[in-house]
């Protein structure tokens, strides 16, 4: 048995960022989502932020009406977003922390300190039939807290590792090791494990080597690449990188990479 197939979720937020820079309707994130699916994406991710800086409410409605693959609705655990998610009923909801001042989602959810509102949001979304994932730091404590909250899925924040890799920092291997240990712990706790933030072709290929991780969510890098090679080509190259990094032999006999 090989490692399970690694799904690619394409985050279309930054198509909306470019659109919003000028106002108007173009480029359209829904067109990007349809192209991404045609090129091999297994799902689409969109983050409706409190300040609507990229994706807007009508984008979510149009994505739900148009795409043939699952929508992963990224959201803060606020009353407004919980209400919207329950009304919209996407396939999945990924709970993320959100601060108005940050440029992107800068850290994992505080599942250890901020338990109650995350637990409540998780229960309400699950009751609405939505698959809930918690975006957390790759730490054993965060994984144990996520399991106790009752979410079936975690998404490990790969940002610190990717940043260390891109800076050529000696810390990069330590960061990768945290992800490796966290993915193994997720599996031990019975949690489905996803990963994302800051991934590019090389880091996606490497992380594909961790067999417990079954989904990567990737946005910014793919949209940047799309400027130069087009979105379908960027997605096909990403798919190839992920397949190349995936263990083919029985993964429990595959040497550590």
Asked if 98 touches ligand PXP (CB under 6 A), the answer is no
**3-class SS of residue 134:** strand
Asked if 17 touches ligand PXP (CB under 6 A), the answer is no
Asked if 130 touches ligand PXP (CB under 6 A), the answer is no
Q: What is the rounded CA–CA span in Å between residue 230 and residue 38?
A: 13
Of 157, 219, 159, nearest to 18 by C-alpha is: 219
Asked if 199 touches ligand PXP (CB under 6 A), the answer is yes
Asked if 105 touches ligand PXP (CB under 6 A), the answer is yes
> Is 91 a residue of the active site?
no
Instruction: Kindly state the tokens that stand for 249.
Output: 């032999």
Q: What is the rounded CA–CA span in Å between residue 235 and residue 38?
A: 10
- What is the per-residue binding string for ligand PXP in 45-84, x denoting contact by CB under 6 A? --x--------------------------x----------
Mapped to the 3 state alphabet, what secondary structure does 191-219 carry? CEEEEECCCCHHHHHHHCCCCCEEEEEEC
> Is 197 a residue of the active site?
yes
Which member of 94, 118, 186, 191 binds ligand PXP (CB under 6 A)?
94
**Are 131 and 94 a contacting pair, CB within 8 Å?**
no
Asked if 217 touches ligand PXP (CB under 6 A), the answer is yes
**Candidate segments 112-120, 140-148, 218-226, 247-255, binder of ligand PXP by CB under 6 A:** 218-226
Which member of 221, 231, 235, 245 binds ligand PXP (CB under 6 A)?
221
Residue 183: CB minimum distance to ligand PXP, A: 15
Residues 6+ apart with CB under 8 A from 73: 45, 46, 48, 60, 85, 88, 90, 92, 93, 94, 130
Instruction: Kindly state the tokens that stand for 98.
Output: 């959100």
> Is 157 a residue of the active site?
no
Which member of 96, 130, 143, 156 binds ligand PXP (CB under 6 A)?
96
List of residues contacting ligand PXP (CB under 6 A) = 11, 13, 47, 74, 94, 96, 104-105, 135, 155, 196-199, 217-221
């Amino acid at each position: 048995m090989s490692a399970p197939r690694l799904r690619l979720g394409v985050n279309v937020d930054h198509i909306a960022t470019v659109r919003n820079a000028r106002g108007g309707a173009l480029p359209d994130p829904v067109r990007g989502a349809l192209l991404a699916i045609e090129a091999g994406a297994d799902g689409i991710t969109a983050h409706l932020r409190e300040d609507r800086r990229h994706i807007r409410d009508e984008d979510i409605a149009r994505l739900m009406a148009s795409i043939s693959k699952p929508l992963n609705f990224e959201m803060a655990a606020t009353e407004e977003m919980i209400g919207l998610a329950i009304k919209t009923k996407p396939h999945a909801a990924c709970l993320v922390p959100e601060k108005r001042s940050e440029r992107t989602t800068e850290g994992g959810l505080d599942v250890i300190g901020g338990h109650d509102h995350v637990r409540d949001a998780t229960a309400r979304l699950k009751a609405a039939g939505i698959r809930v994932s918690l975006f957390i730091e790759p730490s054993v404590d965060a994984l144990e807290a996520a399991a106790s909250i009752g979410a079936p899925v975690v998404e490990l924040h790969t940002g610190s590792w990717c940043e260390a890799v891109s800076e050529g920092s000696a810390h990069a291997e330590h960061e990768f090791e945290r992800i490796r240990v966290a993915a193994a712990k997720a599996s031990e706790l019975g949690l489905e494990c996803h990963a994302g933030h800051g991934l590019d072709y090389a880091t996606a290929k490497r992380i594909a080597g961790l067999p417990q991780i079954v989904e990567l969510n990737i946005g910014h890098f793919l949209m940047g690449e799309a400027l130069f090679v087009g979105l379908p080509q960027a997605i096909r190259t990403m798919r190839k990188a992920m397949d190349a990094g995936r263990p083919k032999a029985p993964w429990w006999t595959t040497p550590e990479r």
